Structure 1
Amino acid sequence: MTQPEPLPLLSLPDSHVDAVELGGPRFQTEPAQVYQELRQRHGSVAPVLLHGGVPAWLVLGYRELLQVTGDAALFSRDSSLWSLWSHIPEDWPLRPLIGEKQESILFTVGEVHRKRADAVNEALFGIDPFALHDRSERVADALIDGFCERGSGDLIAEYARLLPALVLAYFFGFSDREAQEVTHVINDMMDGGETAVRSQAAFYTACRELVAAKREHPGVDATSRLIACSPTGSEEEIVQDLMVMFSAGHQPTAEWIGNTLRLMLTDERFALLLSGGRHSVGWAMNEALWEDTPSQNIAGRWPTHDTVLGGQQVRAGDLLVLSFAAAHTDPQIRPDPAASTQGNNAFLSFGHGVHGCPMTGRESAETIARAGVEALLDRLPDVDLAVPEQDLVWRPSPWMRGLTALPVEFTPAPKTPDEDGSWYSADA
């Protein structure tokens, strides 16, 4: 791990002089070992440096994460509390993740947050679960039709990264063409690279145009319901909340599908059951959340006053980054990391506390992910990796955990006709 050069005008506190960067090659290849080393050196809360040498605290401990996410008064979600904003340049790549001056529900607190969360829940609750499952299967079939006759494919670029967006697009009122465009910018934004700010702007524009269209012509979609249920009717608030709903529904679900398929194609406990072993899909999905949770690290929380957390003195306005991935390997709750997690749903992949993912969102993500995994295995039962497992490459992001590609090969299979003999289409 390297130590990045600090941003201009930014001096490091003594606690972070020897801190390591949250990112770099080892977060791609061996993040669990990095978390273990940080825990051994610092305990359950470790000083780290973000892009440009910006100091933050990484919360590694499971109990400490529950403490932070469960005490909204002491550990606020209000990003305006960050004490370093005056030192952060406008083009800092992590601005979209931290959220300065955003009106998004992610950074609201108290009664304002409760009312906004109620509107989001109402918008999501209106999605019929049976229609969601049906749509997920139809879109999955349409995507598989795009490569099934070839005998090979990339299950990330051609499948996992498209499926949740195309499914959600239908229920939010996006066209499939618009969904594919926003899929690219969301992925880029979450990687936190040099073009993240530009991608966030493109995503914002797409959501604003959709909200304007649904104000003019309301429908039965989630966006129209969000507009109708908004406690203030503010266009900006609705656009920001739509961005959260769509990106939070798509991005982690896409990585969940990809990480589950990788597990089932590389671990003999699952690979041996691929043909007819449908009961193993739920087990693999659960294990993927424990071992390779899509949301590795989330920014952030800000203490409202000086306090001690995990033995570290943190000051009011310090940035806390929540490491769900590290918490899942905390020896205090998993003394034997090799022990099976089957049936254990105590993972933190969907967050915790008042800012955790609503139950409607969790259920929708599971519906889409399970349909995607099962459809792929049903249609291509002999699917196998086309490269050695060690050649698979993880995304260069310390925030999201997912593969850059999952190349596979299989016996070429026919497309799936619908009842009248035409092919299924994602536009159907």
Structure 2
Amino acid sequence: MTDPRHATTPADAPSGGCPAHAGAVPLYGPRFLRNPSELYREMRQEHGSVVPVVIEGDIPAWFVIDYREVRHVLSNPDVFARDSRRWNEWDNIPLDWPLMPFVGYQPSTLFTEGDEHRRRAGAISDGLFAVDQFDLRNQSERIADDLIDTFVAAGEVDLMAQFAHPLPLLAVAKIFGLPEAETPGLLRDMMTTVNGDEGALEAYQGICATMQRLVAHKREQPGPDFVTRVLNHPAGLTEDELISDLVLVMTAAQQPMAYWIGNTVRLMLTDDRFSMNISGGRRSVGQALNEVLWEDTPTQNYLGRWAARPVQLGGQQIDTGDLLVLGLAAANSDPQVRPVSEAAAGNQAMMSFSYGEHRCPIPAPELAEVICQTAVEVLLDRLPDIRPAVNVEDLKWSPSVWMRGLVSLPVSFTPSYVSV
């Protein structure tokens, strides 16, 4: 990753830092993790739609929490830009800052702007549009069955570790056309990277190396897969661009989908509106997936956007180079737009996949839903009496203000045996 403090900066990057916020709210800590929805309500009452906050290390930022303001920011990339080199706080950021992976400039589509972003994001979107959703569902079913086969005889399992986390990566590996011999190593490296375990940097480098080998393989043996399509796209991505964007797509897909699966299973096992229908109500899986996006969306908050010029937003003066944190979950809970529970079932207006030019590639949410819905349906079909193995109150959420998902989801069920 490029050291943003020494990288070439955009021509309109600021030279100074933004002043400390008066009465800033800490965007971290146990209170935030316990009940973020309650904290969003309090912020909205006290500060309105744009809240002065400090993130880890007491670094100042603006937290955009109302639906309309979040949408406005995401709809105006020329004003609220994506290139993190614009940040006016870089002189105060140490290289080992915990949030550096989110904001440190990298030559991937994530930080591009304007025509350059449209060129590269267009290649990704076009490659994903061609994915056959019926084939993806069949592949996801086989992956789910294979994973369940590894623990079905035990009568108990941690669904996060042995099902929700590996399944999305295995499905995306199929989309990429990754050779099966590469899959175990990629899965190991991804889990180490996502969990921040010892050796995380080496594991991330291992993911990059796997993508390099995959690109070389597809140059020699093209196939009907995403990587081949992007490789041959008229956008003409360079080798470095292609590898950076493949790593981005792979890593950006895995954890949100894992948490979407886990949060949905938790909802269906603990909420009477869903649990009473598990044994025959496949329709409720789609409803549960949608409700999770409104109530417990995996991507809670997003770093970020940087003001390209001074601007007023939600009654606050935003200076050039200021960081804006996008409160996607807070926007979903905005009482001005939040549908009542009954209406939420078919309402797709949530901010869970972001919005505007830098949203998830247009086909990605549909493909993610195919993978996650198939995973939950197969799980409930195979383990019809599945139940939580601990009290609901004892389930622990990941200690992150950026993502919302369970650390573990212990369940029990009647053991069965795999036919050979």
TM-score (norm 1): 0.88
Report the CA distance between 1:33 and its aligned residue. Answer: 1.4
Alignment of 1:176 with 2:183, yes or no, is: yes
Q: Which residue of 2 aligns with 1:93?
A: 98
Task: Provide the C-alpha distance between the structure 2 equivalents of 1:194 and 1:98, rounded to a whole number of angstroms.
Answer: 22
Number of residue pairs matched?
402
Alignment of 1:313 with 2:317, yes or no, is: yes
Alignment of 1:187 with 2:191, yes or no, is: no
Report the CA distance between 1:401 and its aligned residue. Answer: 0.8
SS in 1 for 2:401: coil
Task: Provide the C-alpha distance between the structure 2 equivalents of 1:394 and 1:246, rounded to a whole number of angstroms.
Answer: 23
Q: Which residue of 2 aligns with 1:118?
A: 122
Bigger mean CA offset, 245-254 vs 281-290: 245-254
Bigger mean CA offset, 147-156 vs 365-374: 147-156
Q: Which residue of 2 aligns with 1:377?
A: 380
Kept in 2, the 8 Å contact 1:64–1:309? The answer is: yes
Task: Provide the C-alpha distance between the structure 1 equivalents of 2:319 and 2:202, rounded to a whole number of angstroms.
Answer: 32
Q: Which residue of 1 aligns with 2:354?
A: 351
Write the deviation string for residues 244-287 of structure 1: whole angstroms up to 9, x where unpaired. Answer: 21122222111111100000011011011111111111111110
Q: Which residue of 1 aligns with 2:6?
A: none
Task: Provide the C-alpha distance between the structure 2 equivalents of 1:134 and 1:153, rounded to a whole number of angstroms.
Answer: 24
Q: Which runs of 5+ in 2 are unaligned?
A: 1-15
**Is the alpha carbon distance of 1:212 and 1:22 closer, same or farther for their aligned partners in structure 2, counting shifts above 3 Å?**
farther
Task: Provide the C-alpha distance between the structure 1 equivalents of 2:340 and 2:366, rounded to a whole number of angstroms.
Answer: 27
Q: Alignment partner for residue 74 of structure 1, among 71, 79, 93?
A: 79
Kept in 1, the 8 Å contact 2:140–2:371? The answer is: yes
Report the CA distance between 1:233 and its aligned residue. Answer: 3.5
Report the CA distance between 1:293 and its aligned residue. Answer: 0.3
Task: Provide the C-alpha distance between the structure 2 equivalents of 1:194 and 1:106, rounded to a whole number of angstroms.
Answer: 26
Letter paired with 1:374? E
Alignment of 1:143 with 2:147, yes or no, is: yes
TM-score (norm 2): 0.90
**Is the alpha carbon distance of 1:182 and 1:67 closer, same or farther for their aligned partners in structure 2, counting shifts above 3 Å?**
same
Report the CA distance between 1:137 and its aligned residue. Answer: 0.2
Report the CA distance between 1:99 and its aligned residue. Answer: 3.3
Q: Alignment partner for residue 46 of structure 1, among 48, 51, 59?
A: 51
Alignment of 1:138-287 (within 5 A): 138-174=142-178, 175-188=182-195, 200-229=204-233, 231-287=235-291
Alignment of 1:105 with 2:109, yes or no, is: yes
Task: Provide the C-alpha distance between the structure 2 equivalents of 1:121 and 1:233, rounded to a whole number of angstroms.
Answer: 13
**Aligned-residue CA RMSD in angstroms?**
2.2
Q: Which residue of 2 aligns with 1:390?
A: 393
Report the CA distance between 1:24 and its aligned residue. Answer: 2.0
Q: Which runs of 5+ in 1 are unaligned?
A: 1-10, 423-428
Letter paired with 2:87? W
Write the deviation string for residues 149-171 of structure 1: whole angstroms up to 9, x where unpaired. Answer: 11111111110011010111122
Q: Alignment partner for residue 362 of structure 1, among 346, 361, 365?
A: 365
Task: Provide the C-alpha distance between the structure 2 equivalents of 1:195 and 1:88, rounded to a whole number of angstroms.
Answer: 23
Task: Provide the C-alpha distance between the structure 1 equivalents of 2:316 and 2:220, rounded to a whole number of angstroms.
Answer: 52
Task: Provide the C-alpha distance between the structure 1 equivalents of 2:18 and 2:310, rounded to a whole number of angstroms.
Answer: 15
Kept in 1, the 8 Å contact 2:18–2:322? The answer is: no
Report the CA distance between 1:197 and its aligned residue. Answer: 5.7
Letter paired with 1:65? V
Kept in 2, the 8 Å contact 1:12–1:55? The answer is: no
**Is the alpha carbon distance of 1:144 and 1:402 closer, same or farther for their aligned partners in structure 2, counting shifts above 3 Å?**
same
Kept in 2, the 8 Å contact 1:35–1:60? The answer is: yes
Report the CA distance between 1:77 and its aligned residue. Answer: 1.2
Kept in 2, the 8 Å contact 1:96–1:196? The answer is: no
**Is the alpha carbon distance of 1:206 and 1:29 closer, same or farther for their aligned partners in structure 2, counting shifts above 3 Å?**
farther
Q: Which residue of 1 aligns with 2:411?
A: 408
Task: Provide the C-alpha distance between the structure 2 equivalents of 1:89 and 1:247, rounded to a whole number of angstroms.
Answer: 24
**Is the alpha carbon distance of 1:67 and 1:406 closer, same or farther for their aligned partners in structure 2, counting shifts above 3 Å?**
same
Report the CA distance between 1:186 and its aligned residue. Answer: 4.3
Task: Provide the C-alpha distance between the structure 2 equivalents of 1:198 and 1:86, rounded to a whole number of angstroms.
Answer: 27
Q: Which residue of 2 aligns with 1:59?
A: 64
**Is the alpha carbon distance of 1:203 and 1:18 closer, same or farther for their aligned partners in structure 2, counting shifts above 3 Å?**
farther
Write the deviation string for residues 87-107 of structure 1: whole angstroms up to 9, x where unpaired. Answer: 32222221211132x111111
Amino-acid identity (%):
47
Alignment of 1:35 with 2:37, yes or no, is: no
Report the CA distance between 1:145 and its aligned residue. Answer: 0.7
Task: Provide the C-alpha distance between the structure 2 equivalents of 1:18 and 1:201, rounded to a whole number of angstroms.
Answer: 41
Letter paired with 2:307? P
Task: Provide the C-alpha distance between the structure 2 equivalents of 1:80 and 1:204, rounded to a whole number of angstroms.
Answer: 23
Write the deviation string for residues 165-223 of structure 1: whole angstroms up to 9, x where unpaired. Answer: 0111122133321331233144236xxx9986665444334333433443454333322
Q: Alignment partner for residue 23 of structure 1, among 24, 28, 34?
A: 28
**Is the alpha carbon distance of 1:43 and 1:342 closer, same or farther for their aligned partners in structure 2, counting shifts above 3 Å?**
same
Report the CA distance between 1:400 and its aligned residue. Answer: 0.9
